[in-house]
Amino acid sequence: MDEIQQRAQAYGVRMEETLSTDEITSLRESVDHSSRVRWTDPNLRRVLRLRLVGYNHWEYPSWDVSYCYGELADGTRCLVDLPFHRLGGNWKANIVAEAIEDGVFAKGLGLLDESVVSRLWG
């Protein structure tokens, strides 16, 4: 367990992984933060990372979307605008329901892939 995870655990926060691995830092730095696309954009090839911040309230669990990084067909890495900012406790079901409404193939974009989704909750 690294220092960030130890500090988080001391405050009762649970993380799937750290916030500052070399791979994550490299990804963040490779994203063109001035380039934003909607998840319905046909040029969006895949989602590279979806960050969810959760509130583990026993009666009303929910997840806030912190950010979403994607990659376009030409290889440009960008911010992905999602049509939601908060998801209920079953985040995958909520994403699928939103995707069906918008005609988006969430699984094909990688939005349901556990290796793409990063969760932080407390």
What does the pLDDT read at residue 111? Answer: 95
Q: Which of 117, 93, 104 is nearest to 38 (CA)?
A: 104
Mean pLDDT of the chain: 85
Dihedral angle computed from the Cα positions of residues 64, 70, 76 and 81, in that order, rounded to the nearest 10 degrees: -50
Residue 119: pLDDT band by 50, 70, 90 thresholds? confident
Dihedral angle computed from the Cα positions of residues 2, 6, 7 and 8, in that order, rounded to the nearest 10 degrees: 100
Helix (H) / strand (E) containing 80: strand 77-81
Q: Classify strands 14-15 and 117-121 as parallel, antiparallel or unpaired.
A: antiparallel
Evaluate if residue 16 carries a pLDDT over 60: no
